[in-house]
A = this chain, B = another copy of it.
Amino acid sequence: MDALQQLWAGSGLAQMTLGQGLMIVIGLLLLYLAIVRKFEPLLLVTIGFGGILSNIPGVEIATGDGLLHMVYVVGIETGAFPLIIFMGVGAMTDFGPLLANPRTLFLGAAAQFGIFATLLGAVALSATGVLEFDLKQAAAIGIIGGADGPTAIFVAGKLAPELLAAIAIAAYSYMALVPIIQPPIMRALTTQAEREITMVQLREVSKAEKVVFPLLLLLLIALLLPSAAPLLGMFCFGNLMRECGVVDRLTDTTQNALINIVTIFLGLGVGSKLSAEAFLNTQTLGILMLGMVAFAIGTASGVLMAKGMNLLSKTPINPIIGAAGVSAVPMAARVANKVGLEANSSNYLLMHAMGPNVAGVIGSAVAAGILIQFTGG
């Protein structure tokens, strides 16, 4: 019968390509990592599921008028979703530890070396003919070293949308892997004595400082680095809402309903780019490898910077907290705390590590601005 034939022709078994099948398996793998291994579940559950949905053959989901494609066009191509998420991150960020010890901004700066070293690695791979990346793609890959999900998605969406899914997955996976990637590097670059350094109790930060800081940051951005204004502007907006104390109902919604809704659709939208053609190639392998390198170099740079600062300053810094400069909030700070406790069981570094941790968010948003400005976003 015709109808049975049409039914069979429309079935997944008849239409599925090998690529689609593999991508569904990769989607299941992401779900496994998210659900069982607890790898950044908010993003990897949504990206993974979006990836599976997008590889079901013969139905418009990630193409044409399909929901996920519309979500991608409306929210990610425009940059709106990562910016809104960044606003939400701002509304959840406490700059107190950073304000109590502003020197830790240097650690957040140093850790961005991972971004640019990786960029250089990508162009080197390209120059030697191993893989093919142009400068925009290299920049988008480098940003994985920023260890900041929305920043990575924003930059990749502007500079290399064809690599978006791979970059987002690498960024979130390595953020989840921070407890595995960072400790060996920390230990290799520090002595037991350095890891035992205790730091002075942080001073209390006044409400006024917390209110003024996002505005100060915004003004400096406006005067010096407008290209970082979309990301850091939304971030400062979220943070100002949080700290100003007069719009608590907006802050509450930003931290909850709004960021959750946008996260769901951001993840699905990123997942819609998980097509076999875009993902199953050597570039993706290169991205995963380079992303790992970016994290390692960023971690090392932060630790070495802290050691350098100790040479010049009387107030010592435990170099472990330098690793938190990569961001990966709050995982990297927790890892620093854990490694610190191993060296000295009464040395709680968590709050000290929150300073470089949030500094790293600012640092990689600044780097993102530069990358977009100079490679023509």
Interface residues of A (CB under 8 A from B): 3, 6, 10-13, 15-16, 24, 28, 31, 34-35, 38, 41-42, 45-46, 49, 52-53, 55-59, 61, 65-67, 70, 78-80, 83, 211, 215, 218-219, 221-227, 229-230, 233-234, 237, 240-241, 244-247, 249-250, 252-254, 256-258, 260-261, 263-264, 268, 373-374
* Minimum C-beta distance from A270 to chain B (A): 14
* Minimum C-beta distance from A211 to chain B (A): 7
Residues of chain B within 8 A of A374, CB atoms compared: 3, 6
Given contacts A35-B211, A42-B249, A244-B35, contact A12 B222 (CB under 8 A): yes
Q: How many copies does the complex hold?
A: 3
Asked whether, in the complex, the Cβ of B59 is within 8 Å of the Cβ of A247, the reply is no
Residues of chain B within 8 A of A240, CB atoms compared: 31, 45, 49
Chain B residue with Cβ nearest A38: B246
Asked whether, in the complex, the Cβ of A226 is within 8 Å of the Cβ of B70, the reply is no
Asked whether, in the complex, the Cβ of A12 is within 8 Å of the Cβ of B225, the reply is yes
Asked whether, in the complex, the Cβ of B225 is within 8 Å of the Cβ of A11, the reply is yes
* Minimum C-beta distance from A247 to chain B (A): 5
Q: Considering the chains assembled together, what is the distance between the CA atoms of A264 and B80 in angstroms?
A: 14
Asked whether, in the complex, the Cβ of B45 is within 8 Å of the Cβ of A244, the reply is yes
Asked whether, in the complex, the Cβ of B249 is within 8 Å of the Cβ of A256, the reply is yes
